[in-house]
């Protein structure tokens, strides 16, 4: 198969896969990320093979416009997925902090010498 055709097929596959997010975020996210990494690695190897050629075959090729559009979409979707993960991590940290305060509401007031200081935040 031609390297340009292979790059186009891998890009389309990655673009379409990134379109759907895992149904169960906690359980399926690791599998989803590993498959995305696998597709990105395969696409990167194909790009490396193309760059190793003496002349850049992408410029002026009939697939150039499609590849640029797909690449832009892939980058946008990966950034969106990264933002979703960051938001989930923020929510997790906030819930951990809230849970800790619920279980030990006076932890901010404990002092080693036994005195009580009102440290309001």
**Digits of tens for pLDDT over the chain (121 positions)?**
588 899 899 999 999 999 887 776 677 888 889 999 999 999 999 989 888 888 877 777 888 889 999 999 999 999 998 998 899 889 988 888 777 777 776 666 655 565 566 666 6
pLDDT value at position 108? 64
CA pair distance 112, 91, nearest whole angstrom: 32
Which residue, chain included where needed, has tokens 């292979």? 6
Q: How many residues does the chain have?
A: 121
CA pair distance 82, 59, nearest whole angstrom: 30
Instruction: Provide the whole-model pTM.
Output: 0.72
Domain boundaries, the chain: 3-103
């Amino acid at each position: 198969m031609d390297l340009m055709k292979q790059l186009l097929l891998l890009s389309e596959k990655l673009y379409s896969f990134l379109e759907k997010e895992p149904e169960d975020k906690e359980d399926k996210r690791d599998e989803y990320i590993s498959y995305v990494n696998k597709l990105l690695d395969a696409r990167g190897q194909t790009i490396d093979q193309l760059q190793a050629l003496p002349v850049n075959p992408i410029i002026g090729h009939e697939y150039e416009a499609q590849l640029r559009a797909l690449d832009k979409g892939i980058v946008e979707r990966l950034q969106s997925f990264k933002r979703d993960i960051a938001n989930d991590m923020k929510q997790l940290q906030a819930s951990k902090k809230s849970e800790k305060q619920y279980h030990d509401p006076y932890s901010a007031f404990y002092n080693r010498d036994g005195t009580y200081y009102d440290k309001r935040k």
